[in-house]
Amino acid sequence: MRQSYAVLALCFLPSLALSFEGGQERFSDPKTTEQQHFWPELYASGGTSLFCEKGFEEEGGLFVASAVYTKKQIKSSLRCLTDNQCSLKSGRYGHMLSDLHNLYPALSRVELTRRNAQFGELSDSVPSKFADIDCELRTTFQVIEPRDGAKGNIARAVFYMHREYGLPIVGQEQMLKRWHQLDPVDDEERARNDKIESIQGNRNRFIDNPELVNELVP
């Protein structure tokens, strides 16, 4: 009987996570969001990629919109396999995938390696897989460690998705908190936060108030 109750409780976990009422409410189609808002509005004047800090002036085939908290991780959190299943699990599934606070520009070739990996910390002896383009992103089997200048952005995006949508923190929480301290909020990140608010109507509170990290429950 105890085991049955445990299984029943697990079945309700996704619903409990979805009781959060934060996040953005304007966009629910990730493809449309990328085509109409990510590139032409958020990065209308160009920018730099998150993982390799490569500059660009306009959207092109070399760059994609990369989700820090990936679609695969969201599906795993909701315990669903297809988009239809996930939408039935959560009416906010499309909003999670479309949230600009979770999307950053990334080189296409880097995204192919990054999307199925977990963030982690690797030995200094591990070389960069992308040394040919002077990119500090280091990888081993299913683990990647980004450059120091991206670590805080990554941590604050993960914390945002956790706080706003009730998704579990992916990766080691204490490591992400270290990254948050190692790479503090800068003017570029604040300006991005302002721009996203003007587009989708909400802010990343961990950028506005970095001390909120201390309120996260382990």
30's tokens? 């990730």
Instruction: Quickly state the pLDDT bin for 125 (edges 50, 70, 90).
Output: confident
Residue at 42 is within a domain: yes
pLDDT digits (tens, 9 = 90+) for 108-118: 999 988 888 89
In a domain, residue 167? The reply is yes
Is 15 part of a structural domain of the chain? no
The confidence band for 21, taking pLDDT boundaries of 50, 70 and 90, is low
User: Using 50, 70 and 90 to split pLDDT, how confident is the model at 24?
Assistant: very high
pLDDT at 98 > cutoff 70: yes
> Rounded distance, CA 192 to CA 207, Å?
10
Q: What is the mean pLDDT of residues 82-108?
A: 97
* Residue 54 included in any domain: yes
Domains contained in the chain, number:
1
Gap between the Cα atoms of 132 and 189, Å rounded:
27
> pLDDT > 90: what percent of the chain?
76
Q: For residue 218, what pLDDT band results from cuts at 50, 70 and 90?
A: low
For residues 64-83, give the mean pLDDT: 96
Which residue is associated with the tokens 């908290």? 69
In a domain, 6, yes or no: no
The domain in which residue 205 lies consists of 23-215
SS (HEC) of the chain:
CHHHHHHHHHHHHHHHHCCCCCCCCCCCCHHHHHHHHHHHHHCCCCEECCCCCCEECCCCCCEEEEECCCHHHHHHHHCCCCHHHHHHHCCCHHHHHHCHHHEEEEEHHHHHHHCCCEECCCCCCCCECCHHHCCCCEEECCEEECCHHHHHHHHHHHHHHHHHHCCCCCCCHHHHHHHHHHCCCCHHHHHHHHHHHHHHCCCCHHHHCHHHHHHCCC
The pTM (predicted TM-score) of the whole model is 0.89
Is residue 176 within 8 A of residue 169, CB to CB? The reply is yes
Strand order in the sheet with 118-119: 118-119, 143-145, 138-140
Condensed to tens digits (0 to 9), the pLDDT of residues 191-210 reads 999 999 999 999 999 999 99
Is residue 55 included in any domain, yes or no?
Answer: yes
Give yes or no for residue 95 having a pLDDT over 90. yes
Domain annotation covers residue 18: no
Instruction: Give tens-digit pLDDT for 128-150.
Output: 889 899 999 999 888 999 999 99
